[in-house]
């Protein structure tokens, strides 16, 4: 009879390393430990580095350790369920590095570039410069929220309407994620996009709320940014 091995994992703050600033607070970097056949592997948390970015500190409520750990445990549970025959720790780490990536973060810069072009083309270069200056300081959704409160409704609606044709599908994916995932900070990683039924659920949401978007083109763009 073949011997069965179990996979175990945990997140931990690596106190062997110096603390780093995490939105004004000192915090040891978060690491992952995965054990298989009594052999461990260690690597740094993707979500720790992601949520440490300055743009996530602009929210009234800043990311906390609990937010990072919750996202990591969700991802690690997914990866453990994916492992079938021929498990290896190195493959687990490779899979982690692929599936962890946040699609919203990957689209963030492209969406802001769309906004910059939109305002230049609309004859409002001062707003383009505002977006350029805040690129690293605020998320695209935070910027959209700020503009909604300051722009005339006609201009803001035009900005939103043109996203279906000239921007990556950041806006509908963010809104879909916010309604579906009750986290303090919205992220939507590759592994979540690949969960059973999500594509159909998102297609239904697009057809209901963002009808100007073409679901085939949206799926193509998501596939492109995740490769």
Q: Which residue has the tokens 């990072």?
A: 68
**Are 187 and 134 found together in one domain?**
yes
For residues 178 and 210, give the distance between their C-alpha atoms in angstroms, rounded to a whole number: 15
Looking at the 3D structure of the chain, how many domains does it have? 2
Residues 65 and 159 in one domain: no
Return d(Cα 71, Cα 45) in angstroms, integer.
10
Contact 120, 159 (CB under 8 A): no
Q: Please identify, among 48, 73, 99, the residue that sits at the C-terminal boundary of a domain.
A: 99
Determine the structural domain holding residue 150 and report its residue range: 103-226
Answer whether residue 86 shows pLDDT above 90.
no
Domain boundary at 99, 116, 137, which? Answer: 99
- Percent of the chain at pLDDT exceeding 90: 79
Residue 22 lies in a domain: yes
Position 59 scores a pLDDT of 74
**In Å, what is the CA distance from 131 to each residue of 32, 153, 194?**
35, 18, 32
Q: What does the pLDDT read at residue 1?
A: 41
Q: What is the pLDDT of residues 2-23, one digit of tens each?
A: 555 678 999 999 999 999 999 9
Q: What angle do CA 93, 53, 77 make, to 5 degrees?
A: 35
Are 121 and 208 part of one and the same domain?
yes
Q: What integer pLDDT is reported at residue 122 of this predicted model?
A: 96
The string of pLDDT tens digits covering residues 147-196 is: 999 999 999 999 999 999 999 999 999 999 988 877 777 899 999 999 99
User: Which among 225, 124, 134 has a CA at the least distance from the CA of 173?
Assistant: 225
pLDDT tens digits for range 120-156 = 999 999 999 999 999 999 999 999 999 999 999 999 9
Q: Is 42 found in the same domain as 119? A: no
Residue 57's pLDDT is what? 87
pTM of the model: 0.92
Query: Do residues 30 and 81 both lie within one domain?
Result: yes
pLDDT per residue over 50-75, tens digit each? 999 999 988 777 888 988 999 999 99
| Whether 20 contacts 52, CB under 8 Å | yes
Contact of 32 with 76, CB cutoff 8 Å: yes
- Residue ending a domain, among 84, 99, 114, is 99
Q: Is residue 58 part of a domain?
A: yes
Residues whose CB falls within 8 Å of the CB of residue 130, separated by 6 or more in sequence, listed in order: none
- Residues 63, 137, single domain; the answer is no
Residue 17 lies in a domain: yes
Q: What CA–CA distances, in Å, run from 74 to 7, 71, 189?
A: 15, 5, 11
pLDDT (mean) for 199-205: 95
Average pLDDT for 87-92: 88
Number of C-beta neighbours around residue 82 at 10 A: 13
């Amino acid at each position: 009879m073949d011997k069965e091995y179990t996979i175990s994992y945990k997140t931990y703050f690596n106190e062997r390393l110096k603390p780093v600033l995490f939105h004004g607070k000192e915090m040891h970097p978060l690491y992952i430990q995965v054990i298989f056949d009594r052999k461990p592997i260690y690597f740094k948390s993707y979500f720790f580095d992601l949520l440490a970015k300055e743009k996530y500190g602009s929210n009234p409520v800043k990311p906390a350790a609990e937010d990072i750990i919750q996202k990591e445990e969700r991802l690690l549970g997914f990866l453990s369920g994916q492992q079938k025959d021929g498990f290896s720790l190195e493959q687990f780490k490779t899979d982690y590095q692929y599936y962890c990536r946040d699609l919203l973060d990957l689209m963030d810069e492209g969406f802001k570039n769309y906004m910059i072009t939109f305002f230049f083309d609309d004859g409002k270069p001062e707003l383009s410069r505002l977006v350029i200056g805040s690129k690293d300081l605020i998320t695209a959704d935070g910027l959209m929220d700020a503009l909604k409160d300051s722009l005339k409704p006609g201009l803001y609606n035009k900005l939103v309407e043109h996203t279906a044709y000239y921007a990556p599908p950041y806006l509908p994916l963010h809104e879909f994620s916010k309604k579906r995932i009750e986290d303090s900070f919205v992220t939507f990683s590759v592994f979540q996009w690949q969960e059973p039924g999500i594509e159909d659920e998102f297609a239904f949401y697009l057809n209901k709320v963002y009808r100007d978007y073409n679901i085939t083109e949206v799926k193509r763009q998501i596939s492109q940014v995740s490769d």
